[in-house]
């Protein structure tokens, strides 16, 4: 039985160890993912589109794809993951942002190979990633290596400027607020100029530590939109006050924007109800001297 985290993640309880050990035996050979992968309905992904206006400047618009919670493992069909990355390739993003939880249960070599293949299949100017709680409960160094092999930079309380002509846009990548060591002050201190700030964090609970720190858009996953939901909303959500306040979709935290993805894969059960997988296509426009504008259109592809 798994008794402790294999990585640097905190919060791995005895109950979680019993559950994961039982699921590893019950799902041997990843049979649920293989079975559900035959159903066309299990390959549907909702694409949310969000447009923000940057301050005036030179250069074309920046297209950013954001996905979270791939959960490569026994409960996520490979055809669903491949469909997701097909959509992203078709969108031709300039930047790919990854919100963590890349595997479910352990980071076995065949799962890491799938992760590298999928992320590596996206040709773009920059790929940035953070880690989630499930990543930190397994061999997180191996996940970081797999992402690096695919051209992605893993941020742990760090900041990266986007490549020109978007160098006035910075991404603050935070560690997981529940199992890691989320330190937005350390990240924000590395910003040396005025910039449009995107915060990338696995969980909405990272918002709790951002009081007094300026940002323009916060991107997170973790909640799965409840994964098992009713038309009225999620039945169960992860622990954490911000997960309950920001279960999915576009919201506001004070005057700032928050987008919480339902993610792509699943955990524990190979099932979603009224909480379909989603990805975000973010367009950063730069028209001359216009105030920030927001538009949102959702479609199933």
**Three-state helix/strand/coil letters over 170-203:** EEEECCCCCCCCCCHHHHHCCCCCCCEEEEECCC
Q: Is the pLDDT of residue 298 over 90?
A: no
CA-based angle 97:100:102, to the nearest 5? 110
In the three-class reduction of DSSP (H, G, I as helix; E, B as strand; rest coil), residue 206 is classed as helix
Contact 187, 159 (CB under 8 A): yes
What is the DSSP code (8-state) at residue 263?
-
Contact 259, 50 (CB under 8 A): yes
Structure tokens at 274: 């009224």
Threshold 0.85, pTM exceeds: yes
Q: What is the pLDDT of residue 286?
A: 84
Distance CA 285, CA 54 (A): 6
pLDDT in tens, 88-106: 999 999 999 999 999 999 9
My answer on whether omega of the bond before 299 falls inside 30° of 0, hence cis, is: no
In degrees and rounded to multiples of 5, residue 168 shows phi and psi of -90, 15
Distance CA 211, CA 254 (A): 10
Mean pLDDT of 114-135: 98
Q: Using 50, 70 and 90 to split pLDDT, how confident is the model at 290?
A: very low
pLDDT in tens, 236-281: 899 899 999 999 999 999 889 999 999 999 999 999 999 999 999 9
Give the Cβ contact number of residue 13 at 10 Å. Answer: 10
Q: What is the pLDDT of residue 300?
A: 43
Q: Taking the chain, what is the end-to-end CA distance rounded to the nearest angstrom? A: 40
In the three-class reduction of DSSP (H, G, I as helix; E, B as strand; rest coil), residue 98 is classed as strand
């Amino acid at each position: 039985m798994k008794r402790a985290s294999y990585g640097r993640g905190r919060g791995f309880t005895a109950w979680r160890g019993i559950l994961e050990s039982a699921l590893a035996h019950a799902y041997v050979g990843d049979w649920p993912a293989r079975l559900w992968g035959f159903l066309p309905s299990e390959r549907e992904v909702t694409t949310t589109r969000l447009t923000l206006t940057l301050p005036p400047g030179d250069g074309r618009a920046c297209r950013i794809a954001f996905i979270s919670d791939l959960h490569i493992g026994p409960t996520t069909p490979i055809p669903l993951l491949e469909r997701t990355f097909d959509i992203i390739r078709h969108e031709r993003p300039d930047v790919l942002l990854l919100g963590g939880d890349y595997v479910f249960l352990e980071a076995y070599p065949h799962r890491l190979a799938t992760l590298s293949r999928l992320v590596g299949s996206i040709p773009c100017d920059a790929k940035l990633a953070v880690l989630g709680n499930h990543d930190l409960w397994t061999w997180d160094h191996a996940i970081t290596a797999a992402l690096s092999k695919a051209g992605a930079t893993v941020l742990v309380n760090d900041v990266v400027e986007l490549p020109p002509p978007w160098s006035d846009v910075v991404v603050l990548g935070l560690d997981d607020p529940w199992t890691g060591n989320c330190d937005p002050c350390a990240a924000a201190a590395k910003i040396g100029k005025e910039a449009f700030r995107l915060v990338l964090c696995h969980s909405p609970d990272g918002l709790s530590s951002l009081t007094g720190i300026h940002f323009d858009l916060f991107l997170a996953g973790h909640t799965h939109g409840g994964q098992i939901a009713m038309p009225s909303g999620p039945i169960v959500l992860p622990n954490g006050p911000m997960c309950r306040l920001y279960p999915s979709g576009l919201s506001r935290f004070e005057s700032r924007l928050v987008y919480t993805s339902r993610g792509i894969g699943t955990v524990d059960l190979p099932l979603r109800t009224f909480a379909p997988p989603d990805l975000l296509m973010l367009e950063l426009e730069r028209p001359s001297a216009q105030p920030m504008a927001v538009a949102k259109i959702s479609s199933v592809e």
